[in-house]
Structure 1
Amino acid sequence: NIWIVKPAGKSRGRGIELKRSLADILSFTTHCKGASSLNSQRWIVQKYVENPLLINNKKFDIRQWILVTDWNPLTVWFYDECYLRFALSDYNSETLTDRFSHLCNNCVQKEAVLVAPTKAVDESMWDLDAFKNWLTSTGQESVWQEKILPQLQSISIWAVMCAQDLLENRKGSSELFGYDFLIDRDFRVWLIEINSSPDMSPSTAVTEKLCYRCLYDTIRVMVDHK
């Protein structure tokens, strides 16, 4: 019975903690530094997925780019390449305080490299080809195309449809979103969050290659496609 508690106004994994009970959640959000009352800071509480798909006993999530070029009619572009972000510590649901085991955010895992110099930051990411190769090596080569990808695409559309009437529709503008997904052991896909300003820096060998391509292709869609 694990719940993940996030401060709504922060990014890069800052201030996130895992809790097991409502009493722990209320105590943390009420007495957290900088939060003198429940109304002084907004929080997001999500059910934690306790049975994530593991690779080499490590938890991971998927960063997927989505480009919205029009809200009416809704026009959504799904980038062909995504990448995996790994936690560098072995997954352990009994220990809730190990951020390097539960949070796959790159900013968090860079701290793990500083704490344990034997770990390399490039170990914290895989490109899509590496993931497909792992699925093939475990006898599950069809899982990506038949199970995971259709869920990623459906959820990507449903999520922006939910917000379609809440956002200002400015013709001629586009926005690139970074979706974070998690896969459980039954290959069900769960949406963790959507980032309106995804990190596009070349932080690892994987993002150095993919972020440049994505930004280049974003311009091709926005300018050349029309």
Structure 2
Amino acid sequence: QKAVLQQYVEPLLLEDHKFDIRIFFVITSVDPLVVYQYKGGIARFSSEKYQKPTKKNVNNNNIHLTNFAVNKKSKFRVKRMLNEVLDDLAAQKHVQAFLREK
């Protein structure tokens, strides 16, 4: 039987959900160092609120993983994504209004 053992590190949480952020860079030269950062990035969230691993929930990937392939099947995903889109649109409107005032 194969197994993977590793220490579980307490995750950083955002609104009680595990998350990860991916930012992309391209290094085109080392000497001199030339690095370009892509303006966009990816933030991925677990679809269920984080709970410390127990025997009962350790296999609930929607709590412990942020992979899109895992969370796209979650019953919580659609509602959460809609709320995030609405929040993003509201935030963009506030920023645009602020910039117009300046």
The counterpart of 1:84, out of the listed 19, 43, 46, is 43
The aligned residue for residue 50 of structure 1 is: 10
Q: CA deviation at 1:90?
A: 1.4
The aligned residue for residue 65 of structure 1 is: 24
The residue type paired with residue 54 of structure 1 is L
Q: How many residues align?
A: 84
Q: Deviations over 1:178-223 (max 9, x none)?
A: xxxxxxxxxxxxxxxxxxxxxxxxxxxxxxxxxxxxxxxxxxxxxx
In structure 2, runs of 5+ residues without a counterpart are 92-102
Q: In 2, are the aligned partners of 1:85 and 1:104 still within 8 Å (CA)? A: yes
Q: In 2, are the aligned partners of 1:65 and 1:82 still within 8 Å (CA)? A: yes
Give the TM-score normalised by structure 1: 0.30
Q: CA deviation at 1:52?
A: 1.6
Give the TM-score normalised by structure 2: 0.59
Return the alpha-carbon distance in structure 2 between the equivalents of residues 75 and 67 of structure 1: 8
Q: Deviations over 1:97-128 (max 9, x none)?
A: 2111111111111232xxx3x6318729x68x
Q: Secondary structure at the match of 1:81?
A: strand
The residue type paired with residue 50 of structure 1 is E
Q: Secondary structure at the match of 1:101?
A: helix
% of aligned pairs identical?
30
Q: In 1, are the aligned partners of 2:28 and 2:35 still within 8 Å (CA)? A: yes
The aligned residue for residue 81 of structure 2 is: 123
Q: Secondary structure at the match of 2:73?
A: helix
Q: In 1, are the aligned partners of 2:47 and 2:80 still within 8 Å (CA)? A: no
Q: CA deviation at 1:81?
A: 2.9
Alignment of 1:26-175 (within 5 A): 31-32=1-2, 45=6, 47-55=7-15, 57-94=16-53, 95-112=57-74, 116=75, 119-120=77-78, 123=81, 130=88
Q: In 1, are the aligned partners of 2:11 and 2:18 still within 8 Å (CA)? A: no
In structure 1, runs of 5+ residues without a counterpart are 1-30, 36-42, 134-226
